[in-house]
Amino acid sequence: MSLPAWIARGVYRMQEAAMRRPTFAMLAEIERTQWLSRAELEAYQTGRLNRLLQTALAHSPWHAERLRAAGLEATLRDGAVTLADLARLPTMTKRDARENAEHLVWRGVPGGVFPYTTGGSSGEPLIFHFGRERQASDAAGRMRARRWWGVAPGERETYLWGAPVELNKTDRIKTLRDRLVNQMVLNAFAMSPERMDAYLDALVAWQPKCLYGYASSVALLAAHADARGRALHLAALRVVCTTGEPLYSHQRELIGRVFGVPVANEFGSRDIGFTAHEAPGGQMLLMSESHVVEVLDPDGNPVAPGEAGEAVITGLTSAAQPFIRYRTGDVLRMSMEPAMGGQGLHVIAEVSGRQTDFVVAADGRLMHALAVIYVLRAVPGIAQFKCIQHTVERMEVLVVPDAAWKDAARQAVVSGLRARLGDTLAVELRLLDDIPPEASGKHRYVVSHVPLADALKQAAA
């Protein structure tokens, strides 16, 4: 079932209005502001920054203390804080957000506040809060980015995304809602060859304008189609958008060749929000209206223009729980070039993210690593984790516990992993004080030593 785009767009508008999310008003605003000059856009950022900091001063005691210590309280009263003044504040870490949640969240934010758990790429679970403004900002930013590629709101999209294996009543209602706004979801957590054959059939029948999913999962599906010698007839498709992890050059080539359209990567995270998206021509454009990005060296100093460093981001729509000078752990390099499309948006030259892996269930199903990560991050008491799949029958789980850890958490981890990977899975859970990084210095939070089929291996490399 699909609907004309104008009907699906109307349904989406009604949904957002019912949820008190100003999504379409924000979309109209950022469609206008993207054409401001860089100087005008930075003035726009400055105004939003002052409003965010004023909100933090009034409603987030943890931030208020830091703002006063930096001598910014009086300046904020006049709305005269500049982008350069941000450097007077210390940076904020995930541990800060986790340990000071009740002194950060503004529970009276208009529209309400909603908890969310993240930790998919960092391995350090974090419960944070966001409001309607952040939700609307993310959705509007993605819709604008889709428009760069010729995909309008309400046109058919397919999501290769995490989905429950068994649908309960709530999931069935969500599935109906997805179809009413012309979205079809394919489960990235269970990609057996048979399922992927069905996914390819579904794509051809649905004829989406955009395919969106985890980079490695989309590459895996493309590799499967390639190995099958499957010629896909997707006349409506305009772009494949990838997310969640780095998109490697061999994956980009494979996806583009199999699906026959350009591949556009996005950058962001659950806690800091939708941050940047690739535009036609290959540039990664920052959502400058909603994010201020600083690039810092290991000592916390700004790198030279064009050099790589850690992305420290201020989320300008994060009033419900402000993320101000937030250390993301991602490494990026800003470009000094203007946007090729004429926008005033800032340009990111390169993003280095964290790679996830695939795991293999006892019955041979290939599952995106986030299927395992979701199990661990939902268990209270886990400050950090790493899962190592040695064989389809054995998984080692390293856990750094925090004060909320209880004996029951161990069984929750074991039962959750067995539900995903098979009832006979042997889980070896070890409690540690620290989990060291890989020899490369990077942290990998799911590692599988189970070989994939040769035809699929390059997509998950």
| Sequential DSSP letters for 384-441 | EEEEEEEETTEEEEEEEE-TT--HHHHHHHHHHHHHHH-TT-EEEEEE-S--PPPTTS
Joined together, the tokens standing for residue 319 give 């009033």
For 127-164, the pLDDT digits (tens) are 899 999 999 999 999 999 999 999 999 999 999 987 55
Classify residue 108 as left (phi > 0), alpha (psi -120 to 50) or beta. alpha
Helix and strand tally (H, E) in the chain? 14, 19
Question: Could you give the CA distance from residue 268 to residue 139 in angstroms, rounded to a whole number?
Answer: 13
Question: Would you state the pLDDT for residue 88?
Answer: 97
Q: How many CB atoms lie within 10 A of CB 10?
A: 16
Residues lower than pLDDT 70 in the chain: 1, 119-125, 163-172, 353-357, 437-443, 453-461
Question: Would you state the pLDDT for residue 419?
Answer: 93
For 173-210, the pLDDT digits (tens) are 777 788 899 999 998 887 888 899 999 999 999 999 99
Three-state SS at 212: strand
Question: Could you give the CA distance from residue 267 to residue 242 in angstroms, rounded to a whole number?
Answer: 9
Question: Could you give the CA distance from residue 250 to residue 246 in angstroms, rounded to a whole number?
Answer: 11
Domains along the sequence of the chain with CATH: 358-460 (3.30.300.30)
Is the separation of the CB atoms in 310 and 330 below 8 Å? yes
Q: Which helix (H) or strand (E) covers residue 116, if one does?
A: strand 113-118
Question: Would you state the pLDDT for residue 248?
Answer: 83
Question: Could you give the CA distance from residue 370 to residue 119 in angstroms, rounded to a whole number?
Answer: 10
Joined together, the tokens standing for residue 321 give 């729980």
Q: Which residue in the block uniquely carries the two structure tokens 């950060």?
A: 104
Q: Which helix (H) or strand (E) covers residue 309, if one does?
A: strand 308-315
Q: Which helix (H) or strand (E) covers residue 64, if one does?
A: helix 61-69
Question: Would you state the pLDDT for residue 168?
Answer: 56
Question: Could you give the CA distance from residue 159 to residue 457 in angstroms, rounded to a whole number?
Answer: 22
